[in-house]
Structure 1
Amino acid sequence: MRRDIDLEDEQRDTTVRTFHKGATLFKEGQPGDVAYIVKTGRVAVYRVINNRRVGLGERGPGEMVGEMGVMTGEPRGSSAEALEYTEVLVCDQNLVRTMLLKSPRPVQILAGYLVDRVKALSARVTDRPAANPFLSVCRVTALAWQAASRTEVPELRYAELSRTIKDILLVSQIEIDAVFDRLKQMHLVTVTDVKGSFTRKDPVLGSEKPGTAFVKDRLVRLPDADKFLAVAKNMARDAKGRPDFEVDLEFCDLPDFAAAAGTTPDILYKKIGYREIPEELFFFHKGQTMAYIERMGPDYFKQARKPRLSAADLECLDDIVHVDNATLQEAFSNLGFHKVAVAAATAGEAACEKIYKNLSKKIAAVVREEAAALAGCDEDEAADVEKELLDRIKAIKGLAL
């Protein structure tokens, strides 16, 4: 790394800022009044287009981020986020311009050229409907092969297939070629060149001779169509997280949230109702929200009707909030103090409150004390207590077990 004495002197006057993992250094559209030199850590640079996060690269120690806004005086053209704990040196507009003025004239001209080039390239960054271009290209190819396999000679013309992929996914030909290069290396596809040539006429003899050969077309075949998508999915999963040009969603819906957490939307709905998930994670599309409010009318939102679960629908300990008090009191009396304490120690906030409300003050005090001592109790014991309590409630309700 270049060690410039003047630059080091100027950096001694800069401010050092720290950002924890996931913190935002700046947002697209904000004034670009300062730039940052990464001291430790890594920073991701991205744009958000139609709710899609388009990655533009990463910056590491010794590299600068946010310099475009300082040099051009225009609002930020991208956003930056810390990928890990990061320390940066803050460089204001005067410092950056001073560093440029101290540079040789050819370097200043080159910097201006690079700024114009980066602005032009950033303007061409567009949204893609596919978060994983590799897997999306494979899926379109698999669908096209299903149609071609019904013909007498199953094959796909590469040029036509590429046009179809570009029309559906809005990816470039370079990206399509890169995908098929990887597929050929894994022997998932075969690409056969169909060569042709222009004939030329001999000016003396008058006979026609073949000219220089060229690739007239390419034919694509899938040797094992049944395993094609399965292997492609594994390849896409293995390549996830690589520092390639990626597109990701800035916002996700509830099913995507559930899939990432390894759960179901129904459980997330319950956790939202119990306030176990922080409210700052949820956003609503303003236009659709206003239309929904108008459609439902103001009275609809005056009160919330809590859905009632029948005894047969009870699945977990937190579901006891839907059980009537008389049934719970009878179930607790047959369960015993220790098991009630185990239930209170593992239940959610609403279910725990329901337990204490259905105990006498004296017994509730004893259960609270024992539940506090049971923090981190054995999971198998907690599961047994949960099952026994739910079984007792269902038996009281007259359900066959």
Structure 2
Amino acid sequence: MSESSFARYGREYVPGDVLFREGESGDVMFVIQSGAVRITKSVAGEDKLLAVLGPGEFVGEMAILNQKPRNATATVTEPSRCLVIEARKLEAMLQTNAEIAFRLIKKLAKRLDAVNALVDILMHRDPKARVMLALARHAESFGQPTPEGIRIRTSAEDLAREVDVDLAIVDEVMARLRRLKLLADGPPAHPSIVVTDLRRFLDFIEFLETPQKFGGES
């Protein structure tokens, strides 16, 4: 997106800024140009992390498309630049630009897959498996490719709340994954988790899950 377009539609945000709150009406959506936005939903009085979205992601489009209140809260977690698109502008863009419409459909499908994955994770009986599956979910659905691996903009505390596991278990699992060099810490300027080799990480999870698929060891 050109600087002239950003000058027309763009805004800059600082960590802690709330783009919108759950339950509010919504007539704008956001396209993240840089930075990160945390998406949370209130469940039984506790904020549950759904995603942390980075550059290239859409935020807030559902309230425009289905004309219903916001179903989550979006909070800026890093200095961010976003394009702010009003409902009428989005409708015009979708009618005149098939590529934009296709990209939006792909994003929505990816979000639906991520929600379904979270439901499957929460049904898993093993808390340690829930932690690893949650890490894989974030890496595959919302991760940012970097030279070091797939960067996940989340924390151990968020993962613990997300999959209903004690923080001590999350720390134990992540420590083991670091020893296996499947995880690493992100840059100090932007605390995060890095999945160093996603394919190897997924293979490791599949290996651990295999006994369960066949009814356990005899």
Match of 1:22 in 2: 16
| CA–CA distance in structure 2, aligned partners of residues 242 and 69 of structure 1 | 30
User: Contact 2:28/2:85 (CA < 8 Å) preserved in 1?
Assistant: yes
Q: Map 1:134-145 to 2 at 5 A.
A: none
Asked whether 1:176 is paired with 2:105, we answer: no
Residue identity matched to 1:50: A
| CA–CA distance in structure 1, aligned partners of residues 39 and 61 of structure 2 | 12
| Superposed CA offset, 1:201-238 (max 9, x none) | xxxxxxxxxxxxxxxxxxxxxxxxxxxxxx95752574
Give 5+ residue unaligned stretches, structure 2. Answer: 133-167, 178-184, 186-191, 196-218
| CA–CA distance in structure 1, aligned partners of residues 105 and 34 of structure 2 | 28
Q: 1:26 to 1:95 in 2, by over 3 A?
A: same
- TM-superposed CA distance for 1:80, in Å, is 0.5
Q: Map 1:265-344 to 2 at 5 A.
A: none
User: Contact 1:14/1:90 (CA < 8 Å) preserved in 2?
Assistant: no
Give the percent of matched residue pairs that are identical in Structure 1 and Structure 2.
19
| CA–CA distance in structure 2, aligned partners of residues 49 and 69 of structure 1 | 19
Q: Map 1:68-147 to 2 at 5 A.
A: 68-104=62-98, 108=101, 111=104, 115=108
| Superposed CA offset, 1:77-127 (max 9, x none) | 11111112222121111221122112339x74785687588579769978x
User: Contact 1:71/1:96 (CA < 8 Å) preserved in 2?
Assistant: no
| CA–CA distance in structure 1, aligned partners of residues 174 and 64 of structure 2 | 39
Q: Map 1:165-204 to 2 at 5 A.
A: 171-173=122-124, 176=126, 179=129
| CA–CA distance in structure 2, aligned partners of residues 13 and 66 of structure 1 | 21
| Superposed CA offset, 1:232-286 (max 9, x none) | 5752574896489xxxxxxxxxxxxxxxxxxxxxxxxxxxxxxxxxxxxxxxxxx
Match of 1:249 in 2: none
Aligned residues: 146
User: Contact 2:32/2:54 (CA < 8 Å) preserved in 1?
Assistant: yes
| CA–CA distance in structure 1, aligned partners of residues 22 and 130 of structure 2 | 35
Match of 2:36 in 1: 42
| CA–CA distance in structure 1, aligned partners of residues 130 and 114 of structure 2 | 25
Q: Map 1:375-394 to 2 at 5 A.
A: none
Of the candidates 232, 235, 246, which is equivalent to residue 172 of structure 2?
Answer: 235
- Compare the two structures and name the one with the higher strand fraction: 2
Q: Map 1:362-381 to 2 at 5 A.
A: none
| CA–CA distance in structure 2, aligned partners of residues 80 and 47 of structure 1 | 9
Residue identity matched to 2:172: M
- TM-superposed CA distance for 1:47, in Å, is 0.6
User: Contact 2:122/2:130 (CA < 8 Å) preserved in 1?
Assistant: no
| CA–CA distance in structure 1, aligned partners of residues 116 and 24 of structure 2 | 17
User: Contact 1:35/1:66 (CA < 8 Å) preserved in 2?
Assistant: yes
| CA–CA distance in structure 2, aligned partners of residues 23 and 52 of structure 1 | 19
**Structure of greater Rg:** 1
Match of 1:312 in 2: none
Residue identity matched to 1:101: Q
| TM-score, structure 1 normalization | 0.29
Give 5+ residue unaligned stretches, structure 1. Answer: 127-169, 183-230, 245-401
- Compare the two structures and name the one with the higher helix fraction: 1
Residue identity matched to 1:235: E
